[in-house]
Amino acid sequence: MHQFGRLCGAALLAGALGFGAAPAEAQAPGVTKDEITIGALGALTGATSFMGGPGRDGLQLGIEQINAAGGINGRKIKLVYEHAFTPAESVAAAKKLVESDKVFALILSSGSTGAAAAANYVRETGVPTYNLFGATPIIRTPFAKNVFHGAMPDAPTSAQALVDRVYQAKPDAKKIGLLVGTYSFPQSNKAAILPILEARGVKPVIEEFDQDSRDFTSQLISMARQRVDAVIVLGSFSEAGFAYKQAPEKGLANAVWVLDGSAVNDAIVPIIGERDPKNVWGYSNMPAFPAQDHPEAVKFRQAWIAKYGTPPQGRPNSYDMVGYGGAFILAKAIEAAGENLTWDGLIGAWSTMKGAKPSDLGGADVIFPETFSETDHQGNRALGRATIKGGLWQTVGQ
Amino acid sequence: MSDARRPLAILSPLLAPLALFLWGWAAGDYWRFVLTLVATSTVIGAALTMLVGFARCISLATGAMMGIGAYCSTLLILHAGLPFPVAVVASALAGGVGGLLLAIPAVRFKSHNLAMVTLVFQAVVIILVREMKSVTGGAEGLNVAPPVIFGQTISSDLVYLGMAACFCALALLPISVLLSGPYGRNLRALATNEVAARAFGIRIERYLMAAFTVSSAAIAMAGALAAPRFRIIDPDSFGLHTSIVMLAYPVIGGMTSIWGGILGGGLMRLLPELLRPIADYIELILAAIVILTVMFFRGGLTEIGERLCPRRTAPLAAAPDAPAERATTLPAPRPPSHAHAGDALVATNIVKRYGALAAVDDVTLAIRAGTLHGIMGPNGAGKTTFFNAVTGFIAPDAGRVVLFGQEAKPGRVEDRIALGITRTFQHVAIFPGLTCRDNVIAGLGRNGVRQSFRRSLDRALWSAAARDEHEAASWALAAVGLRSLAETRADQLSLGNQRRLEIARAIVSRPRLILLDEPVSGVSHGEVEQIVTLLRRLNVELGATMLIVEHNIGFLTALCDRISVMASGRIIADGLPAEVVARKEVRQVYFGEIEDAA
Amino acid sequence: MLEISGLKVSYGAVQAVHGIDLTLAPGESLALLGANGAGKTSSVEAIAGLLPTAGGRVVFDGADITGKPASHIVRRGLALVPQWRELFPAFTVEETLLAASSAPRGRPPLPLDHVYDLFPILGQRRLQLAGSLSGGEQQMLAIGRALVTNPKIMLLDEPSAGLAVGIVRSLVGIVQRICQAGVGILLVEQNLEIAEAVATRCVVLSTGRAVWTGRMDDAAGRAAIQEAYFG
Amino acid sequence: MAEFVMVILGGLKFGAVYALAAIGIVVIHKATRTVNFAHGGLVMLGAFATYVLVVDWKWPYWTAYLVVPLLIGALAAGLELSILRPLRRADLFTVVLGTIFLGTALSEAFRLAYNTELLAVPAAISGAPIFIDIGEDAAIVTLEQIWVTGGALAVGLAGLFLFRYSTLGRSMRAMASNIRGAQLCGYSVERVYATAWFTGGALAGLAGVFAAPSRGVSPELAVSIIASAFVAAVIGGFDSLAGALIGGLLLGVVETLSAAYVSSAAKSAISFVLLFLVLLWRPEGLFPEAKRRHV
């Protein structure tokens, strides 16, 4: 597979050269004297449109700020955002952006399998690609020099953070329950977390649930029966919220709850129905939460409201923030690639970028600084320690 | 449609993949990619035309079938190292098996219950894919390698499109042959009139099982073909949502020809690409299109197309109410072969009860071969019940029926046609969507699923057997005076002509015994006389025995050799027409207990 | 009172009734005669609004009710006892009558006791399911259901069909009483004897056309009926 | 033992909501012969309306029980008038297609109005849970659980009662039993059909109000409710209100039991297995209505 990808890449490169496309020295696709076209894809309708929609809004907001500040080396950024949900749609959208719209770089702001299918394609084409939300390992393996990952850490990093949160809250925890969704990303996180627990000699109580489950009676009763000290929830905020809420009624009263990435979302608070729930922990892949009273978050929120108006419940969410921050990271990489833009140039500059953050280009630092190297394209590994206070998720150190 | 052009019409669906390939040739790689998926959608649409449009089965398991194909071929290539084309064919077989497994319980149900059973299948397949993580990769999906054919990895979008177009053509061809031949006609026949379909030996369960099997095989093949383009296959791609979207294909395209599915599938797959600027609304737009189609353009795209440019061959000249031409003398291609002496039908002590009511109360009746025998009686006298017991549509509680010296077992309606017995229906039971000729051909029998498959192939090749059927239908239509309306849709005929059509369908198999249930009810005066003449002539020239149930006493007396009168489930009089009508007890039935009827 | 002129009914391309005329006042009784398939049932169902008319006018109580829905026509006081009775099998006798008396209407309904007086057997069976009644009792219930709507004119479509002679006799007596109470009766019948017992005038139909109209006891009518029945 | 009781009670809470939705489907089908695959969409809109009332407008929760059923009932009657009435002459098959896509349209319209993963609605009633001693253990019951289970069941029973004994119910049953006979009694088809859709819609709306706190509001609610409610209705015989009620409760309990004692993955499969078995064993449902339809 790996070799095949390279072969294909080479073939395509050769094909591109054969067709008389500009060689490496000349202007890359999507770049004109005063504009750079960036493509992005994510779900605008369907089950994960809560990621794709905010992703688009965040990117757009970031790009407008960059353009308002004069753009990059005199060029404005133009965003073309395409809807894509399933793998088939994602490949179609990626092909359209790369082959028809001739974008200079591609942003993946869709969920795991869609992003993975698109990543599979971009490995062959070599277009510089920035993966915002995809957590699944098949996006990261095999390693591709043109694919970069942003605020969303890889599964081992986040799995480690989850286990850390358990022992930070309850150092003597013995029995750990794993409440895992049967769908894509919880399953990949489960695969990452099991070896870590095993290394610690902990044999977890594993219970699974289907996507959008609302009733956790059986899982919770099983955990209560086995008297778990802590529950790690791998699932979305709605699932985690209902599970937490139902726990006392099923006899699971004093456990520590550690929630995975997408469950760490303010929309969980009305589900739980308490403004200061006890023992709920999580990690954050950003220095502050969208609604947190944190100077950078406030700056971001004000900008968001100025552009999009009064937000509905749950917006702007962390996908807005990651999208926004991601726009700056990509812009920073393009800036570092210099005036004469080529894919190789961008990839080279990106691969050596250290500590890039939005404020470098005048944005709000709503994501952790990102650092890349030739062999490691995971931009962010920092994860904050988060809990719910006053009805909001708050970062309370690392 | 002229006979010479028939095979070409059956080949015409192949234009779709060809057109897609040519478009892809001219377009860029992105479009070639999209058009590959469009091509697979046309196959899915065509398959659903068979299942949803022709057989009228709402299936919510399309996604699952596609998934079976995609996973099957991917796993076969991955683990068994099969070459791609072999894996595609294998996955079509797997899909066929899956369709059959679904059909075995499903065909017992109709409408929403059938939809629910297919939903169960859909859900179970997805749950299995998700749970069998070690094989299928679970919810995270499975990487699909680009196909390898003859050692060549196919990485060019154009080559892939070409290959997909070839496979799609291969899949469309059999569907087209089946749908335009007797199999497809019989599917539509059973969907519009189950009772009549059964009367001509169309076994509904088997036909539906075949429809599920064939369409599932095609859908699975499309799934296998599309999988490498998806790059990653995961259970969500083949979920219920996918099934619902695909259900729209034949609805939007039109459900009466393979072109409906092809156009609907193609358009529905293209629309999301064409409407990218308003992608937020795409789901709403697609749903709205379906609702509007269902409300206002139930015939779908194909009907709109036909309305815009009416087919030259559609015999508009033969307007719905055009009077039938005078029936010509029978060419009689075969001499009446069953000059059977003695009794054609002997019914002994037939009893049929509904609760406390004895609808047929110990009726014994013998009909001499070659005669025209009428049964009259007031409403509720038990005529139709008796008639149905004789034809095998209901099982009598007691009594036996002997047809031409052979005891007839109740229930097996389809066997009666082989015995040389056909019937017409009280409420005209033609197959409305079919042409007159196709209605008549259904009456020839040989309607078992396998036979219909072979006959469909005959028809596509326009072999001697198909020409014979065509000729036989022409003969029967000419016999009843409908020759010029042969290619008109049956539901556009006047009632009198529909009655004639039923008679044509009943005589085309050259039966020994024809049972006519109220052949002139609702028919106008003038037409009644024509039908009398027609039936008399058919009796003479075919030598067929006829049993006629009728209210219209004038018609019966003019037509029949003998008449039996039924009242309250019993035969109260039997004899020559004039004599029977004059009898006191018969008059009493109609006039009440009056002594002097003059 | 009920004036019908040029009534036409068709089913798709087939015309079942080719224009008939008749009038009927409350307390009067009229029989619609003819062989099977002559268009009798189509005519009364079109009058009662169960079938669409293809032409002609139906005027009732001074108002044009052509093409109005059946429910509207019932509320105005024109009730049909249909040929197949059209009862609700899972309703009890009482529920059936209640359903008719509690439907929205312009006129006050008759009390149920009226029906029970007329048909004592229904009173005894008031808690029995309509589907479990005998044919005669079902016919009585169908008449009772129409009666509860307090009609000025009642259309009866072959009330004798499938019933034993004794039951038919008692039904005839009751229909006569209803008529004497001032309700106009339009009776569709095949059986001449019953028609004679109930009606004073008759209209004879043959293949959708009125071939004779006049008094029931007229000899010329007899001949027309013979002709219509046996051709 | 206590654990078992808790599993059963948890199942009953969800089952009661299924039952309520299923009764709505049955009322509509019984009176109008329309199989309403858009019913899940109506339940979801009921939950959404609850969200708007309680969270956006900050009205007290009890107002939702009054306003939402009227609103969703009116919407359902409107859909009947505008979309299903033109379809009345079409065959059952076409109507089923129409309602399937109508359901999709309702979900999508909502998604466009509110693009968030899930809208959370606070519980209608809160308070300390009740401990019931059973043997050594104690079963824990929350007030909300009692309220939702009891409330939904009470509404369902009230619906049953109304359908059985009220004039309005009688008109719908008459129409269901014999459409010509009902017209001859003076019931207008148009009005009874609109009433049936209103009633079915109102029940769907109420199911939404009851479901909102425990399930949240999202388009997925429509799909999961329609599947469960249909299974419940089919188990109950599809034409029996009492059957739908029992079917809903049975489904809820069987789901949680299988999840608790077999495997949590079995939960989603079990409802389909149940449906399948019922369809094969008794295609007319466990509680068929005594009926003889006029054709």
Choose the mutation target among D89, D183, D239 for the interface with C, i.e. most C CBs under 10 Å.
D183
Residue B288 burial by Cβ neighbours in a 10 Å radius (0-12, 13-18, 19+) = middle
8 Å CB contact of D170 and C95: yes
Judge if A240 and A257 occupy the same domain: yes
Interface touch B231/A91, C-beta < 8 Å: yes
The residues in B 304-333 lying below 8 A from C, measured between CB atoms, are 320-321
Domain that holds residue C214: 2-230
CATH number for the domain including A273?
Answer: 3.40.50.2300
Query: In what side-by-side order are the strands of the sheet with A280-284?
Result: A205-209, A176-181, A230-234, A256-259, A280-284, A384-389, A392-395
Which residues 36-75 of C are in CB contact (within 8 Å) with D? 48-50, 69-72, 74-75
The mean pLDDT of chain B is: 84
Residues of B (38-57) whose Cβ lies below 8 Å from D = 56
| Residue showing tokens 């065959």 | D91
Alpha helices in B401-513 (DSSP H): 413-418, 436-442, 449-461, 464-480, 495-507
C-beta neighbour count of B117 within 10 angstroms: 27
| Lookup: tokens for B245 | 């979207």
Nearest-angstrom CA–CA distance, A267 and D116: 9
The pTM (predicted TM-score) of the whole model is 0.87
Residue B215's CB is within 10 A of a number of other CB atoms, namely 32
The whole-number pLDDT of residue B465 equals: 86
CATH of the domain at C86: 3.40.50.300
- Measured CA to CA, the distance from residue B339 to residue A36 in angstroms comes to 91
The pLDDT of residue A17 is: 39
pLDDT for residue B327 is more than 90: no
Please check whether residues A191 and A141 belong to one and the same domain.
no
Q: Is B407 on the interface with D (CB under 8 A)?
A: no
Q: What is the pLDDT along chain D (295 residues), one digit of tens a residue?
A: 777 888 888 889 889 999 999 999 999 998 888 889 999 999 999 999 999 999 889 999 899 999 999 999 999 999 999 988 888 777 777 888 889 999 989 988 888 877 777 788 888 887 777 888 877 777 778 888 888 899 999 999 998 888 888 888 888 888 888 888 888 888 888 888 999 999 999 999 999 999 888 888 888 888 888 888 988 998 888 888 889 999 999 999 998 888 878 776 677 778 888 888 887 887 777 777 644 333 2
Nearest to B33 among A44, A92, A136 (CB): A92
Q: Percent of chain B having pLDDT more than 90?
A: 30
* Residue of chain D whose alpha carbon sits nearest to that of B130: D265
Q: B104 φ, ψ to 5°?
A: -55, -50
Which pLDDT belongs to residue D265?
A: 67
Contact with chain A for residue B70, Cβ under 8 A? no
- Model confidence at B591, in pLDDT bands (50, 70, 90)? low
Spatial distance between the Cα atoms of C186 and B73, rounded to a whole number of angstroms: 73
Please check the confidence at residue B157 and state whether its pLDDT lies above 80.
yes
A144 and A44 co-located in one domain? yes
Same domain flag for A89 and A188: no
For B361-382, the pLDDT digits (tens) are: 888 888 888 889 998 887 677 8
Could you tell me the two tokens for B353?
């009860």
Judged by a CB distance cut-off of 8 A, whether residue A88 touches chain B is yes
Chain D partners within 8 Å of A315 (Cβ):
116
Residue C145, chain D, CB below 8 Å: the answer is yes
- Closest chain B C-alpha to D17 CA, distance in angstroms: 20
Q: Is C229 helix (H, G, I), strand (E, B) or coil?
A: helix
CA-closest candidate to residue A100, choices B158, B24, B29: B29
What does DSSP say about strands A205-209 and A230-234: parallel, antiparallel, or unpaired? unpaired
User: How many structural domains compose chain C?
Assistant: 1
Q: DSSP letter at C92?
A: B
Number of CB pairs, chain B paired with chain C, less than 8 A apart? 69
Most confident range (mean pLDDT) of B47-61, B184-198, C86-100, C198-212 is B47-61
D236/chain A closest Cα distance in angstroms: 23
Is pLDDT at B312 greater than 60 in this prediction?
no
Set of chain A residues whose Cβ sits within 8 Å of the Cβ of D215: 214, 242
The sign of the CA dihedral A290, A296, A298, A301 is: negative
Helix ranges (H only) for chain C are 40-48, 70-76, 93-102, 112-118, 120-124, 135-148, 165-180, 192-198, 219-230
Residue C51, pLDDT above cutoff 80: yes
Task: Give the percent of chain B with pLDDT over 70.
Answer: 90
The verdict on A262 and A307 lying in the same domain is: no
Same domain assignment for residues A146 and A187: no
Chain C meets chain A (3+ C-beta pairs below 8 A): no
Count the domains in chain A. 2
- Whether residue B353 has pLDDT greater than 90: no
CB B375 within 8 A of CB B548: yes
Q: Is the pLDDT of residue A233 over 90?
A: yes
pLDDT 10s digits, A19-76: 434 444 456 888 998 999 999 999 988 777 888 889 999 999 999 999 999 999 889 9
SS3 B434: coil
Query: Which of residues A284, A302, A332 is at a domain's end?
Result: A284
The amino acid that residue B41 corresponds to is S
Q: Are residues A91 and A201 in the same domain?
A: no
Q: Are residues A147 and A56 in the same domain?
A: yes
Residues 6+ apart with CB under 8 A from B190: B55, B197, B198, B202, B204, B207
Contacts of D114 in chain B (CB under 8 A): none
Task: Determine, yes or no, domain membership for A276.
Answer: yes
Number of H helices, E strands in chain A: 13, 12
Query: Diameter of chain B by CA atoms?
Result: 99
Domain residue limits at A255? 155-284
Residue A199 lies in a domain: yes
End-of-domain residue from the set A256, A284, A312: A284
Measured between CA atoms, the residue of chain A closest to residue D146 is A249
CA-based nearest residue in chain D for residue C132: D292
What is the distance in angstroms between the CA of the first residue and the CA of the last residue of chain B? 59
Question: What pLDDT does A155 receive?
Answer: 85
Residue from D181, D250, D198, D209 nearest D12 by CA: D250
Q: Is the peptide bond before A142 cis (omega within 30 degrees of 0)?
A: yes
Closest by Cβ to A209, choosing from D10, D123, D264: D264
Positive/negative CA dihedral, C178, C82, D88, B60: positive
Cβ of A378: how many Cβ atoms within 10 Å? Answer: 18
Task: Pick the closest to residue D118 from A388, A212, B492, A158 (CA basis).
Answer: A212
User: Are B279 and A83 an interchain contact pair (Cβ–Cβ within 8 Å)?
Assistant: yes
pLDDT of residue B444: 84
User: Looking at chain B, which subunits does it touch, using at least 3 CB pairs closer than 8 Å as the criterion?
Assistant: A, C, D
Mutate to test the interface with D, among B60, B62, B116 (most CBs of D within 10 A): B116
**Which residues are within 8 A (CB) of A111 and not within 5 positions of it... i.e. 6 or more apart?**
A43, A48, A51, A85, A133, A134, A184, A185
Rounded distance between C-alpha atoms, residue D229 and residue B47, angstroms:
30
Q: Each residue of B72-125: pLDDT tens digit? A: 999 999 999 899 999 999 999 999 999 999 999 888 887 778 888 898 899 889
- Whether residue A131 lies inside any domain: the answer is yes
Q: How does pLDDT run across D22-80, given as a tens digit for each residue? A: 999 999 998 888 889 999 999 999 999 999 999 889 999 899 999 999 999 999 999 99
- Nearest 10 degrees: CA dihedral of C169, C175, C181, C186? -150
> What six digits make up the tokens of B380?
């509720």
Q: Name the residue facing B494 among C13, C158, C193 (closest C-beta).
A: C13
Q: In which element (H, E) is residue B274 found?
A: helix B258-274
- pLDDT tops 70 at residue B319: no
Residue A202 within a domain: yes
Residue with tokens 């990106």: A350
Contacts of residue B467, defined as CB under 8 A and 6 or more positions apart, other chains included, come to none
pLDDT average, residue stretch A219-223: 88
Query: Quick count: other Cβ atoms within 10 Å of Cβ D38?
Result: 28
pLDDT for residue B407: 79
**Cβ of D104 under 8 Å from any chain C Cβ?**
no
Higher-pLDDT residue of B111 and B197 is B197
Q: Encode pLDDT of B391-424 as tens digits.
A: 777 888 888 888 887 777 766 666 677 778 888 8
Instruction: Say whether residue D290 is in contact with chain C using an 8 A CB cutoff.
Output: yes
Predicted pLDDT at C181:
85
Query: How many CB atoms neighbour CB B20 within 10 A?
Result: 24
Which of B127, B236, B245 best probes binding to A when mutated, by most A CB atoms within 10 angstroms?
B236
A53 and A116, same domain (yes or no): yes
Beta strands in A50-133 (DSSP E): 76-83, 105-108, 129-131
| Cα A18 to chain centroid, rounded | 37
* Mean of all residue pLDDT scores within chain A: 86
Best B121, B245, B294, B426 residue to mutate vs chain D (most D CBs within 10 Å): B294
Residues facing C187 on adjacent strands:
C31, C156
The residue ranges of DSSP E strands in chain D, in sequence order, are: 130-134, 137-141
For residue B203, the one-letter residue type is R
pLDDT band at B3 (very low <50, low <70, confident <90, very high): low
Which of A4, A82, A184 is opposite residue B276, by nearest beta carbon? Answer: A82
